[in-house]
Amino acid sequence: MQLPQKVLITDVVARDGFQNEDRVIPTQDKIRVIEGLVQAGVTSIEVTSFVHPRVVPQLADASEVIAQLPRHAGVSYSALVPNIKGAQRALAAGVTELHLVVSASESHNRANLNRSTQETLAQLAEVISYVQQENPQAVLVTCISTVFHCPFEGRTPLARALWVIEGLLKMGIRNINLADTDGAANPLQIWQTISTVKERFPEVTWSLHLHNTRDMALANALAGLQAGITLFDCALGGIGGCPFAPGATGNISTEDLVHMLHEMGIATGIDLAMLLSKGE
């Protein structure tokens, strides 16, 4: 079996997880959780989203979270940015890694971003050139939601994913996150899709974002590993979900993925015992 020796985990609990909680979690509690992840050895954390506070009130404190988080050498904090307004707020708060988002399926893009996929791609081009102008050092990652499956349309045709990827490449994007937004992909589909895109677009650095709706996230992670993925999103405690993907449940849990990787001799740099104590 072809497997990497090392994997980089990005924990998204503070964004994907907390956005989906019914109650608003106090800023200080968010910071305590993020600090716990850092103590356990997590070096990449998506800490918030600069989405409009009316749309996702749970993350209305995005700027405060960034401002109050202690900085640590070797630890990178990223934030999701849905549009140019969000990019302005993120850069003003000092965010240096921005995660943009577009859905491969039309219906989910409309539900999530209130416009067509094509319109979002056009808007992303503006966001990207704005960010590059304001902070040429900023890292830009684009997440393609519903790249495998859509809660409204069913299985996403590979051609549709390829079309979105080509659009992003034209804008200079080289970091792409493939998201199984509603947790409906299967390991064979994951392996086939990733093998195809890796071969077709060798200039891209790929990461994988899995949800565990049908208990297949670990199997999908293994398929991703075998296809050569070394960057994974996951969430402490396996919480999370997309408010615009009915029926979807939490992310692949950080504890489960780290446990599986360590059992297979793949390094993550994370102290699992300490991680488990932080997840309680």
Q: How far is the CB of 233 from Zn ion (least distance, A)?
A: 7
Least separation, in Å, of the C-beta of 157 and Zn ion?
Answer: 21
Interface with Zn ion by CB under 5 A: which range of 12-20, 32-40, 88-96, 260-268?
12-20
Return the number of the residue (11 or 16) whose C-beta is nearest Zn ion. Answer: 16
Task: Return the axis-axis angle of helices 217-226 and 254-263, rounded to nearest 10°.
Answer: 50
Work out whether strand 44-49 and strand 8-11 pair parallel, antiparallel, or are unpaired. Answer: parallel
> CB 144 → Zn ion: shortest distance, Å?
12
Minimal distance in Å, beta carbon 103 to Zn ion? Answer: 12
Segment near Zn ion (CB under 5 A); pick from 10-18, 132-140, 156-164, 224-232: 10-18
Position of tokens 């202690």?
70
Q: Specify the residue, 16 or 97, whose C-beta has the smaller distance to Zn ion.
A: 16
Q: Which stretch binds Zn ion (CB under 5 A): 1-9, 16-24, 153-161, 167-175?
A: 16-24
Residue corresponding to tokens 């985990």: 9
11 is a contact residue toward Zn ion (CB under 5 A): no
Which among 24, 58, 30, 32 is positioned nearest to 242, based on CA atoms? 58
Residue nearest to Zn ion (CB): 16
- Report the candidate in 28, 59, 29 with the shortest Cα–Cα distance to residue 46: 59
143 is known as an active-site residue? no
**What are the CA-CA distances from residue 24 to residues 56, 89, 151 (Å)?**
10, 20, 26
Task: Give per-residue burial for 46-73: e unless 16+ CB within 10 Å, then b.
Answer: bbbbbbeeebbebbbbbbebbeebeeee
Q: Taking the complex as a whole, how short is the minimal distance between the CB of residue 142 and Zn ion, in angstroms?
A: 14
Structure tokens at 40: 């356990």
Binding of Zn ion at residue 16 (CB under 5 A)?
Answer: yes
Residues 6+ apart with CB under 8 A from 93: 50, 62, 63, 66, 67, 79
207 neighbors 227 (Cβ within 8 angstroms):
no
Residues touching Zn ion, count (CB under 5 A): 1
The piece of 15-23, 43-51, 58-66, 69-77 that touches Zn ion (CB under 5 A) is 15-23
* 180 binding Zn ion? (CB under 5 A): no
Cβ distance to Zn ion smaller for residue 213 or 268:
213
Active site residues: 242
Chain residues binding Zn ion by CB under 5 A are 16
